[in-house]
Structure 1
Amino acid sequence: MRTRTRNNSARKAVDRLNATMSALSDRVLGRDDLIRQIKFALITKNHVLMEGPPGVAKSMLANLLFRAIRGHKHYFDIKCTKKMSEDYLVGAPDMRKFRQEGRLWHLTDKTLVTSDFAFIDEFMDLTPGALRALLELLNERTFTRGRQKEKSPLWTALAATNFSGENEEALEAVIDRFLFRCKVEPLSSIADRMRMIKASVGQDEEMGPIPVLNKADIVTLNKQVSKVYVTDLVMETYLAVCDKIGSLTDRTIANAIRVVQANAMLEGRYCTSVKDLNALDCVFRVPGDSASSSRFAKAFSVYKGALDREKRISNVFMIYRRISDLVLMIQDCEDYKEAYAIAHEAREAEQAIHALSTSDTEHLKTEGCKSCCSILEKADTLYNRDKD
């Protein structure tokens, strides 16, 4: 009964998540890839980096999203500048404590340190000290200054930068903290631009408020993601894809597999399939970046072979289950003619399992053949009994 309640709760949470994401897509045009990344970031507890010029709805998307999420302590929203110190992120020093005790202590209430969600605009303009504090919070979810050490409830942050070639080297140094990355360009689709203009002149259809998404829903789905079993074949194929992409850190490899689990969970499964690896495109293929798309396509050359292997394993497993059913059927059988019909089907199943079996299913083939032998022996026993 408890399991059914938990599953129903997860299904309702998925429905609310999908409703919120769909409403965002209707309001922020041409950003479906980015919104899909945000969806996975929320349920895997990761962060998203948006690169693009001003005026492409980065801030609008972040504010619409986080204001639709309820049941959390604080949402932190800041636009960074080149002269901004870390105090703007982690709070000003407590001067009273400094005068009385001679130690530095930051007042972190209602800062990034104590926030569940955050939008950090133009974060690459931060000073080196502030950037280090930000990266510590994004990665470790802790704030440490001398004796002061606080755990942060930070769940998901969206960060934006007005990306240009001159800060490429600096960006690469911090990019590993963001599992998801998207290059946001001005709208190019005629249909999207028409809808944008209609909205601007008041000729679009009226839309209701964005459906509310509770943080409790996000936490529920995150817990469900952790329960999804990753098969050996999926793990092996995933690592092969990572090797072909190359230049991935251990942190990225360890985090990205959660997206595979999340895709299975969103489809109502608690065991991964090779097809769930398709979800990795939102991690390894940067929307708006043709080079990453090409690299991802080449890396997925291992995908088709793994999909074929999975189909063979699935077929062998189905045959094995049928053999198990035949074993149960012949146990209650007392008529040798009926037993021989069961034995005939068992022989066909044995031939099929031999033809399809691979090294992945050797144990199923062995057990299946043993079961088939026991079926044939029972059929012969019944035949000899009735003959006598």
Structure 2
Amino acid sequence: MTKIKAKLALLLEQLNHGLVDREATMKSALLSILAGENILLIGPPGTAKSLVARRISKTFNENNLADSTYFEYLLTKFSTPEEIFGPLSISELKADRFKRNTDGYLPSVKIAFLDEVFKASSSILNALLTIMNERIYHNGTEAVKVPLRALIAASNELPTGQEELSALYDRFLIRSFVDYISANKLLHLFDLIEEVEIKDPLTQEDLNWLDDTIKNITISAEIRKAILEIWEKHKDTFKEDRREVLSDRRFTKVIKLLRVSAATNDRSEVDLSDVLLLKDCLWNHPDNAEKIREIIRSTLLRYSQRVKIDSEDSEPEHSKADDLLTPPSSINVINGYRGSGTEHDPILIRTDTELEDIRRPEIGQQGYFFKQTNNIQSLPVTATQSIYFIGHYDGNNFTIYGPDNKNVLFGYVNPRSSISNLHLVGFSLKCTDLDSNKSPSNKVDVEKTIEKTKELLMIQIESNIWL
């Protein structure tokens, strides 16, 4: 591990010390600051959004960064520009000049946190737009370059249906959900630590090195093709949804983000794992977040390759990719189903309708655990309708009946997935290999087939400190 990657890994460990379930949010916040981009934290009150911002502000060495002060403010509809950008200078007014004293206010800091940012008045909003994008503040007649590295903002809700806020919303490259922690982790809050000591913080030299390095990060023709395909799929999927529009500005910013991810992972080239970061950059309405994840996931799986594991008898080790697909512990995670989808509380499959619904990406491609509780007389299934499966299916020694042996139940089973204890009549259980037309027999222990392969994407994710 190189110096910068090791340093960032240590920083993340320190930033997360004493917090519960905020690792992903902290990673996104630190990455956005390294990239010089803005991040929006979305979630209800009391979910440590401001604490994340305060901790991130401590990652910079104030001795080496002249403008490293931190500014934080809770906006209301009554907030005035003086509260954010500084009071008017009386001496300048006496000389018939309009100018603010910005020292200690947002235009003078390296990191700023604005809570309830969408409640900003139009006078605050107009100034924020140029600060966030061009890093320029118009102080009277003078356009001043501000030292802001990133604006971290928070909101309990998104500006849906408010066209006047769309420009502000678009300037947040990364959007991260922050929710209450699950009930089984409440015990950890007894030992919550709010203050931490950051050892070996980032210096101006680190930032200068990163800014210079990303200029030389390359993007291969294959990765470019994958990104363009994701962009095109997005436009096609949401062509009738006015809320989901990708600007040219967002395209250039995500390319920079991918280069920063590659550089901080000690690579000279962007790879597939970096592209996975787009899952938090391409949606506008939260209802579409999962659709975006599926567009990216399906595209990257097509561009990934398979790498043989040395030992045929070895079980695949747990990968961080599993964490992306494993649902949080909850009760009845999908409406109409029983079970939270965890290993000890699997989603119960009781009817043919519930089995058919596994074809839906939001159910059958999320890494859930399933358990069949009855014999199922399935509806007719054709090869083109077969299930693309990411998860773990326990047949519980029950049977699924199909119309004839020409039909295929599973068109593809992810290498990290498993199917066991399942009997099939009138079905073939087919696990399609990405780079061959071979398929195993309809014996249902698919793990014996898939444990011999491992996707390149999984290997890359495992080594990416941001995933």
Distance 1:186 1:282 in 2: 19
Task: Name which of 111, 117, 121 aligns with 1:117.
Answer: 111
Q: Does 1:41 align with 2:39?
A: no
Task: Name which of 121, 138, 153 aligns with 1:127.
Answer: 121
Distance 2:184 2:301 in 1: 35
Q: Does 1:296 align with 2:293?
A: yes
Q: Deviations over 1:73-123 (max 9, x none)?
A: 2211222222111122222222222222x2211222222111111111122
Cα distance, 1:57 vs structure 2: 0.5
Q: Does 1:89 align with 2:84?
A: yes
Q: 1:120 to 1:207 in 2, by over 3 A?
A: closer
Q: Counterparts in 2 of 1:220-235, with a 5 A limit?
A: 220-235=209-224
Distance 1:117 1:170 in 2: 25
Q: 1:126 to 1:207 in 2, by over 3 A?
A: closer
Cα distance, 1:143 vs structure 2: 0.9
Q: Counterparts in 2 of 1:58-207, with a 5 A limit?
A: 58-71=49-62, 72=65, 73=67, 74-100=69-95, 102-163=96-157, 169=163, 171-188=165-182, 190-191=184-185, 193-196=186-189, 198-199=190-191
Q: Deviations over 1:171-202 (max 9, x none)?
A: 544211110111221112513x2211x216xx
Cα distance, 1:30 vs structure 2: 1.0
Contact 2:159 2:166 in 1 (8 A): no
Task: Name which of 228, 236, 255 aligns with 2:225.
Answer: 236
Distance 1:22 1:285 in 2: 29
- AA paired with 1:254? T
The count of aligned residue pairs is: 294
Distance 1:53 1:16 in 2: 32
Distance 1:242 1:144 in 2: 34
Contact 1:53 1:185 in 2 (8 A): yes
Alignment correspondent of 2:303: 306
Alignment correspondent of 1:258: 256
- AA paired with 2:191? A
Distance 2:86 2:159 in 1: 32
Contact 1:43 1:219 in 2 (8 A): no
- AA paired with 2:275? L
- AA paired with 2:45? P
Alignment correspondent of 1:211: 199
Contact 1:42 1:218 in 2 (8 A): no
Alignment correspondent of 1:32: 23
Q: What's the secondary structure of 1:149's corresponding residue?
A: strand
Choose between structure 1 and 2 for higher RCO, CA contacts under 8 A separated by at least 6 residues: 1
Q: 1:168 to 1:293 in 2, by over 3 A?
A: farther
Alignment correspondent of 2:271: 273
Alignment correspondent of 2:333: none
Q: Deviations over 1:275-318 (max 9, x none)?
A: 432232242368x946312223124433233335x99xxxxxxx
Distance 2:147 2:139 in 1: 17
Distance 1:211 1:239 in 2: 40
Distance 1:283 1:166 in 2: 17
Distance 1:275 1:27 in 2: 28
Q: What's the secondary structure of 2:13's corresponding residue?
A: helix
Cα distance, 1:55 vs structure 2: 0.8
Q: What's the secondary structure of 2:262's corresponding residue?
A: helix
Q: Which segments of 5 or more consecutive residues in structure 2 lack a partner in the other structure?
A: 236-244, 308-434, 436-467
TM-score, structure 2 as length reference: 0.57
Distance 1:107 1:250 in 2: 35
**More strand as a share of residues:** 2
Contact 1:275 1:307 in 2 (8 A): no
Distance 1:207 1:88 in 2: 26
- AA paired with 1:178? F
Distance 2:21 2:157 in 1: 19
TM-score, structure 1 as length reference: 0.68
Distance 2:129 2:195 in 1: 37
- AA paired with 2:265? E
Contact 1:179 1:255 in 2 (8 A): yes
Q: Which segments of 5 or more consecutive residues in structure 1 lack a partner in the other structure?
A: 1-7, 312-355, 357-388
Which is worse superposed, 156-165 or 230-239?
Answer: 156-165
Q: What's the secondary structure of 2:151's corresponding residue?
A: strand
Distance 1:167 1:25 in 2: 35
What RMSD over aligned residues (CA atoms) do the two structures have, in Å? 2.8
- AA paired with 1:45? G
Q: 1:226 to 1:164 in 2, by over 3 A?
A: closer
Alignment correspondent of 2:452: none
